[in-house]
């Protein structure tokens, strides 16, 4: 197949990027490499400044060495490029809660480019204090024609009341157009391609509804366990960690109406409408439509692994879920009655994130033998997000021979085949670039975060009610596809895709 060209971004004006949590894992592994990439491609102007803000008592040179090492470990660029890039860096060792440290930050920013991007990659409990201090110091205001923006990493709150409170606090100091709430799934090329597939083509739209679609399955399966994040995960669980954000975002992109234009508010209006069409679940619905599980020890990729309760930082009697499967309904004109099956978990059999849209079977039984033997598979369109990247359509074809025998075959689009390279799966370069240029299309709006929490809170409330009866997440063997109970969610005539 002929290779297609890959688009590059136009360059930006100089900016000051202030990284809260500048020594943390996210900054070192994702954000600084993303900024380095933008600088290397000359998208980020060479007069830009990056101010690292964290509690460690480094000086600028020590911080530069830390960043050079981090970039080196990711094997990015040449030594000379890394050294040159690190000249953009300065460092402020301080306390996010102490007003005097914001006065120092302000002094530090004297002479830096007036366009500012505050990037909150610090522990989420520090967000309210940071927002408050930035506001009090007058740093949230844009100065003389320049722009000031703030990026906030997930989790955005831990339930609806805390998300509302954080939104109120942000809005006291920043206008909504200045606020960029990240969900890194939206930065994945394959996720953005969902919108292109749906709205740059006419083929699918006529069948993209309850008349033709029998169910939608969204899977985000990981083979990794909680790694070193046991303490965080104890307070989160798979519902807050993956469903509230990544899975519901994927669902919203699949189910949304065409936006008026590809502009931030037009796209987000439609996504919010989808999220609001999924009514909060009653405890009974939670009981029958949602399954939670927790991994026990098992074998993953040929290696024995411990159970969740044995992970560092995890309570040995923990009831936190590492797996969630849910059957949800988008109660609107287009989707009424179509199950949206969501499934995510750690330590599952294979790493895969995909969306499968399954179409209805033909209304008439023409190829009786095949039908009688239950072999006629429904047409399925599978959008593969990662690690394979592409789209395939499964349909029935006649196998060569004297009889009519229908077998499933696939039409396959792979990024590698068509564009000569995979996307690399990196979401951050795109998201950091969009935040710098002020395009909020791939970021979460205040009402969107709240709508997702409303639904997720109803599931948690259902579990809490169940807990009164002593229920726990169902245990599953690490390396399996989750608890057996999840198998009933697709209904009698369907099953989870596992290939
Ligand atoms: C993060 C979660 O948001 O997404 C992690 O906190 C999870 O627990 C990760 O592992 C998955 O992201 P990706 O891009 O690897 O699918």
**Distance in Å, CA 222 to ligand 1 centroid:** 9
φ, ψ (nearest 5 deg) of residue 196 = -65, -45
To test the pocket of ligand 1, the residue of 158, 241, 311, 387 to mutate (highest count of ligand atoms within 8 Å of its CB) is: 241
- Which amino acid residue places its CA nearest to atom 4 of ligand 1? 242
Candidates 24, 183, 221, 222: which one to mutate for ligand 1, based on the most atoms within 8 Å of Cβ?
222
For residues 407-436, give the mean pLDDT.
89
How high does pLDDT run on average in the chain? 93
Query: Is the confidence at residue 3, as pLDDT, over 80?
Result: no
For 260-273, what is each residue's pLDDT tens digit?
A: 999 999 999 999 99
CA of 469 to the centre of ligand 1 (A): 32
- pLDDT tens digits for range 181-220: 999 999 999 999 999 999 999 999 999 999 999 999 999 9
Return the ligand 1 atom nearest residue 185 CA: 14
For residue 188, which atom of ligand 1 is closest to its CA? 14
pLDDT given at position 487: 95
Residue nearest to atom 13 of ligand 1 (CA): 185
- Secondary-structure percent of the chain, ordered helix, strand, coil, rounded to 5: 40, 20, 40
CA distance 87 to 430: 23
Query: Which atom of ligand 1 has the smallest separation from the CA of 386?
Result: 16
C-beta separation of 38 from 107 below 8 A = no
Å from CA of 254 to ligand 1 middle: 20
Phi, psi values for residue 100, rounded to 5°: -60, -30
Distance 64 CA to ligand 1 centre (A): 28
Q: Is pLDDT of 477 > 60?
A: yes
Of all protein residues, the one whose alpha carbon is nearest to atom 8 of ligand 1 is 241
Q: Considering the chain, what percentage of its residues have pLDDT values greater than 90?
A: 83
For 402, counting Cβ atoms within 10 Å of its Cβ (0-12 exposed, 13-18 middle, 19+ buried), the class is: exposed
The residue from 246, 279, 287, 494 that is catalytic is 246
Query: What distance in angstroms lies between residue 330's CA and the mean position of ligand 1's atoms?
Result: 25
Residue whose CA lies nearest to ligand 1 atom number 2: 241
- In whole angstroms, give the CA distance from residue 393 to residue 411: 5
Going by the DSSP 8-state scheme, the letter that residue 287 receives in this structure is: H
Q: Which residue among 34, 242, 347 has the greatest number of ligand 1 atoms within 8 angstroms of its CB, and so is best to mutate? A: 242
Distance 309 CA to ligand 1 centre (A): 20
Ligand 1 atom index nearest CA of 385: 16
Q: What is this structure's pTM?
A: 0.95
Residue nearest to ligand 1 atom 6, measured at CA:
241
pLDDT at 8: 59
Percent of the chain with pLDDT over 70: 95
Best of 183, 237, 246, 308 to mutate for ligand 1, by most ligand atoms within 8 A of CB? 246
Does residue 385 have a pLDDT over 60?
Answer: yes
Query: 292 - beta bridge partners?
Result: 324
Task: Name 179's bridge partners.
Answer: 150
Better pLDDT: 154 or 2: 154
Ligand 1 atom 15, closest CA: 222
- How far apart, in whole angstroms, are the C-alpha atoms of residue 22 and residue 356? 38
The answer to whether residue 154 scores a pLDDT higher than 70 is: yes
Q: Which ligand 1 atom is nearest residue 246's CA?
A: 3
- For residue 340, what are the CA distances in angstroms to 251, 294, 393, 415? 8, 22, 19, 26
- Do residues 316 and 324 touch, judged by C-beta distance below 8 A? no
Q: How confident is the model at residue 467 (pLDDT cuts 50, 70, 90)?
A: low
Joined tokens for residue 8: 């590059």
**Residue 26 pLDDT exceeds 90:** yes
Nearest atom (ligand 1) to Cα of 220: 16
User: DSSP letters of 91-120?
Assistant: EEE--TT-HHHHHHHHHHHTTS-S-EEEEE
Task: Tell me how far the alpha carbon of residue 25 lies from the centroid of ligand 1, in angstroms.
Answer: 13
Q: Per-residue pLDDT for 74 more than 80?
A: yes
Q: Give catalytic status of residue 246 as yes or no.
A: yes
Rounded to the nearest angstrom, the gap between the alpha carbon of residue 325 and the centroid of all alpha carbons in its chain is 17
Nearest CA to ligand 1 atom 9: 242
Q: For ligand 1, atom 5, name the residue with the nearest CA.
A: 241
- Please state, in angstroms and as integers, the Cα–Cα distance from residue 116 to each residue in 101, 135, 261, 264, 415, following that order: 17, 14, 28, 20, 35
The per-residue pLDDT for range 215-247, each reduced to its tens digit, is 999 999 999 999 999 999 999 999 999 999 999
Ligand 1 cavity residues, CB under 6 Å: 222, 241, 353
**Bridge partners, 381 (sequence order):** 357, 393
**Where is average pLDDT lowest: 140-144, 292-296, 441-445?**
140-144
Q: Over range 308-337, report the average pLDDT.
A: 97
Report the separation in Å between the CA atom of 185 and the middle of ligand 1, taken as the mean of its atom positions. Answer: 9
Per-residue pLDDT tens over the stretch 273-305:
999 999 999 999 999 999 999 999 999 999 999
**Cα–ligand 1 centroid distance for 184 (angstroms):** 8
> What pLDDT score does 10 carry?
63
What pLDDT score was predicted for residue 376? 74
Atom of ligand 1 nearest to the CA of 353: 16
């Amino acid at each position: 197949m002929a290779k297609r060209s890959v688009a590059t971004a136009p360059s930006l004006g100089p900016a000051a990027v202030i990284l809260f949590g500048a020594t943390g894992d996210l900054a070192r592994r994702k954000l600084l490499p993303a900024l380095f990439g933008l600088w290397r491609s000359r998208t980020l102007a060479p007069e830009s400044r990056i101010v690292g803000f964290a509690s460690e008592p480094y000086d600028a040179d020590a911080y530069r060495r830390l960043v050079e090492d981090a970039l080196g470990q990711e094997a990015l660029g040449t030594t000379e490029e890394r050294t040159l890039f690190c000249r953009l860096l300065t460092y402020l060792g301080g306390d996010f809660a102490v007003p005097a440290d914001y006065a120092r930050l302000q002094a530090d920013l004297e002479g830096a480019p007036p366009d500012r991007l505050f990037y909150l990659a610090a522990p989420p409990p520090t967000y309210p204090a940071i927002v408050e201090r930035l506001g009090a110091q007058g740093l949230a205001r844009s100065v003389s024609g320049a722009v000031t923006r703030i990026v906030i990493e997930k989790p955005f709150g831990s339930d609806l009341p805390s998300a509302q409170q954080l939104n109120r606090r942000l809005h006291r100091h920043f206008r909504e157009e200045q606020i960029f709430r990240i969900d890194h799934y939206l930065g994945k090329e394959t996720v953005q391609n969902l919108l292109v597939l749906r709205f740059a083509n006419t083929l699918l739209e006529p069948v993209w509804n309850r008349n033709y679609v029998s169910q939608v399955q969204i899977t985000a399966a990981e083979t990794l366990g909680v790694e070193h994040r046991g303490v965080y995960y104890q307070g989160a669980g798979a519902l807050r960690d993956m469903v509230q954000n990544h899975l519901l975002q994927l669902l919203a992109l699949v189910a949304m109406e065409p936006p008026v234009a590809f502009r931030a508010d037009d796209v987000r209006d439609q996504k919010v409408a989808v999220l609001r069409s999924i009514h909060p679940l009653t405890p009974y619905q939670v009981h029958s439509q949602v399954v939670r599980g927790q991994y026990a020890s098992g074998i993953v990729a040929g290696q024995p692994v411990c159970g969740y309760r044995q992970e560092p930082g995890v309570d040995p009697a923990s009831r936190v879920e590492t797996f969630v499967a849910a059957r949800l309904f988008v109660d609107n004109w287009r989707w009424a009655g179509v199950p949206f099956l969501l499934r995510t978990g750690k330590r599952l059999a294979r790493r895969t994130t995909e969306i499968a849209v399954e179409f209805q079977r033909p209304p008439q039984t023409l190829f009786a033998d095949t039908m009688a033997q239950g072999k006629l598979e429904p047409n399925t369109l599978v959008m593969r997000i990662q690690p394979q990247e592409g789209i395939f359509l499964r349909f029935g074809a006649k196998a060569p021979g004297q009889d009519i025998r229908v077998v499933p075959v696939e039409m396959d689009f792979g990024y590698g085949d068509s564009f000569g390279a995979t996307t690399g799966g990196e979401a951050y370069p795109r998201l950091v670039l969009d935040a710098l240029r002020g395009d909020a299309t791939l970021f979460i709006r205040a009402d969107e975060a709240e709508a997702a929490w409303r639904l997720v809170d109803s599931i948690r409330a259902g579990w809490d009610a169940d807990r009164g009866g002593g229920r726990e997440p169902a245990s599953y063997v690490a390396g399996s596809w989750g608890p057996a109970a999840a198998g009933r969610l697709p209904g009698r005539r369907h099953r989870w895709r596992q290939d």
